[in-house]
Chain A
Amino acid sequence: MNIKPILEIEKEIIEDFALFDSWEDKYEYIIDMGKKLPPLEDEHKLNENKIKGCQSTVWLVASYNDGRVFFKADSDAVIVKGLISMLIKVLSGHTPTEIIDARLDFIGEIGMMTHLAQTRSNGLLSMIKQMKNYAIAFQAIGSQKTDHK
């Protein structure tokens, strides 16, 4: 699998956002990304997959395959879904170490830290934290497997 480095994907998003000169354009893009994110299967919409700290409901699931972490997520709020969609685009398919080390500066660069009030970006931060927690857990599994060899 040929996956672009995290920083490169972040750079592409920043470049996309640089084309927008109004908040409407930015949000319409995010809303569009939210709408395009494939809905999570009902079987994953469980309480244990919910992320706390969000005003809306956010579900996040992760799988670990061939040393790489894959995320799927959903939300009942479309802007949040758009933001998750970007996080998935940036982080999904990378190794646990890459995900853990990702600084995700693009969120600030595209103005989402300031455009989302603190309480809501706390939800965004909870999402990132949960994604990184998955990466940490999978990294532990990965190293256990290596130990057994």
Chain B
Amino acid sequence: MGILDLRQQFPILNRMVKGKPLVYFDNAATSQKPQRVIDALTHYYTHYNANIHRGIHTLAEEATMAYEATRRTAQEFIGALHEEEIIFTRGTTEGINLVAYTWGRQNIGAGDEIIISGMEHHSNIVPWQILCEEKGVVLKVIPVNDDGELLIDAYKALLNNKTKLVSVVHVSNSLGTVNPVKEIILAAHQVGAKVLIDGAQSAVHLDIDVQKMDCDFFAFSGHKVYGPTGVGVLYGKKELLEAMPVFQGGGEMIKEVTFEKTTYNDLPYKYEAGTPNIADTIALKAALDFIKETGKPTIRAHEEELLAYATAQLQAIPGLTIIGNAKEKVSLVSFIIKDIHPQDVGVLLDNQGIAVRTGHHCTQPLMARFGIPGTIRASFALYNQKEEIDALITGLHKTIKMLS
């Protein structure tokens, strides 16, 4: 299927913004949704809305089946060995917090060390800082080079027998860098540390196989993989998830409750307290199916073409500097323009119908590393076109002219 046919499946891309056709380049923040995802949501509410797992009536059975079907699709999407290793969350942030509050509090204590990287999203910094403050744990940071790549030798030097966890981002949301997670995981395992991979940016672009990768935890968000907001997946190795304490208490996660003692449900329900986000979880399947049918190699080939084209076009603009020139990147380009604040660029591009992200992208320490307040970030998805990059370039020339 051609890109134009794929593009037509995303109704929002037909809209106008400020009288101009929308150019949506904020895909790393959230991707747009194909019609089938929107349809899955309305179909659920129109035909079989019911609470899952407990009801014995037809609607409840249909809803439960659809909800659990997403779990199997997600299992396949990331190559998990067991279905019950897929825990539904609100998103990547909740997944990371779940690990920090359960496995983290059980297994990391005073004097132990956690390693993160210098390009983490705040979501993969703050949960560990909270744990560190509470328990007297030491947080160590893998440095980043000028191209926006992790210094792997420096990382290996940080590892020791006090390292209990390495939690790193698979793909940087600010730079697009693809980190060598297999190597990172292997080295961590050699000192007995567990590894969490933040897959928020990678899940949509890269082939994910958690077994081959051998990560202990992997978290991603539905809304960045053409799915709905408010649903995500936390993968954990079964033996870890089974041994971990519970996260939130409530309905669904229990086996039996008496006032004296409560026993907990089996995986994955042990970590899914309360009525979950049924509709969005069901619709997530439509998004994952869409990616599978389109094929990640096809998506990547198109996105790599867009990245190469955008990079060449942007580099030709006087005064423009690309931040993040890693050898391996996903289709995302972050840049700054001499003497111009990113926010001004964002405002003026928006008036031309072009949606980019400006600011620190929730990676303030990384911005500090590069000595900048923020960047302008254009991130591409499978439905973007070269013509839209041309519009961005024209828009940038106009913007620069207006600001200088």
Q: Are A120 and B351 in contact (CB under 8 A)?
A: no
Does B373 have its Cβ within 8 Å of any Cβ on chain A?
Answer: yes
Q: Are A77 and B351 in contact (CB under 8 A)?
A: no
Does B334 have its Cβ within 8 Å of any Cβ on chain A?
Answer: no
A116 to chain B minimum Cβ distance, whole angstroms, is: 7
Does A117 have its Cβ within 8 Å of any Cβ on chain B?
Answer: yes
A23 touches which one: B343, B344, B351, B358 (CB < 8 A)? Answer: B351
B343 touches which one: A24, A27, A55 (CB < 8 A)? Answer: A55
Q: Are B343 and A77 in contact (CB under 8 A)?
A: yes
A77 touches which one: B344, B350, B402 (CB < 8 A)? Answer: B344
A51 to chain B minimum Cβ distance, whole angstroms, is: 14
B62 to chain A minimum Cβ distance, whole angstroms, is: 38
B122 to chain A minimum Cβ distance, whole angstroms, is: 15
A23 and B18 CA atoms in complex are apart in Å by 9
A27 and B401 CA atoms in complex are apart in Å by 12
Q: Are B351 and A56 in contact (CB under 8 A)?
A: no
Q: Are A78 and B373 in contact (CB under 8 A)?
A: no
Looking at B347, B373, B402, which has the most chain A CB atoms within 10 Å of its CB?
B347
Contact of A120 with B402 at beta-carbon distance under 8 Å, contacts A23-B351, A55-B358, A57-B373 already known: no
Q: Tell me what chain A mostly uses at the interface: helix, strand, loop, or mixed.
A: helix
Does A73 have its Cβ within 8 Å of any Cβ on chain B?
Answer: no
* Proximity string of chain A (73-101) to chain B, C-beta cutoff 8 Å, 1 when within and 0 when not: 00011111000000000000000000000
Does B104 have its Cβ within 8 Å of any Cβ on chain A?
Answer: no
B52 to chain A minimum Cβ distance, whole angstroms, is: 35
Contact of A115 with B351 at beta-carbon distance under 8 Å, contacts A77-B341, A78-B403, A79-B344 already known: yes
A101 and B355 CA atoms in complex are apart in Å by 36
B402 touches which one: A28, A55, A116 (CB < 8 A)? Answer: A28
Q: Are B402 and A56 in contact (CB under 8 A)?
A: no
A76 touches which one: B18, B341, B351, B402 (CB < 8 A)? Answer: B341
A100-149 interface (Cβ within 8 A of B): 115-117, 120
Q: Are A120 and B403 in contact (CB under 8 A)?
A: no
| Closest residue of A by beta carbon distance from B19 | A23
Q: List 24 A-B contacts (CB under 8 A).
A: A27-B347, A27-B351, A27-B402, A31-B344, A31-B402, A31-B403, A55-B343, A55-B359, A55-B374, A56-B341, A56-B343, A57-B373, A76-B341, A77-B343, A77-B344, A78-B341, A78-B344, A79-B347, A79-B348, A80-B343, A115-B347, A115-B351, A117-B350, A120-B347
Starting from the known contacts A55-B343, A78-B341, A79-B344, 18 additional A-B residue pairs (CB-CB under 8 Å) come to: A23-B351, A24-B402, A27-B347, A27-B348, A27-B351, A27-B402, A28-B402, A31-B402, A55-B374, A56-B341, A56-B373, A76-B373, A77-B341, A80-B344, A115-B351, A116-B347, A117-B350, A120-B347
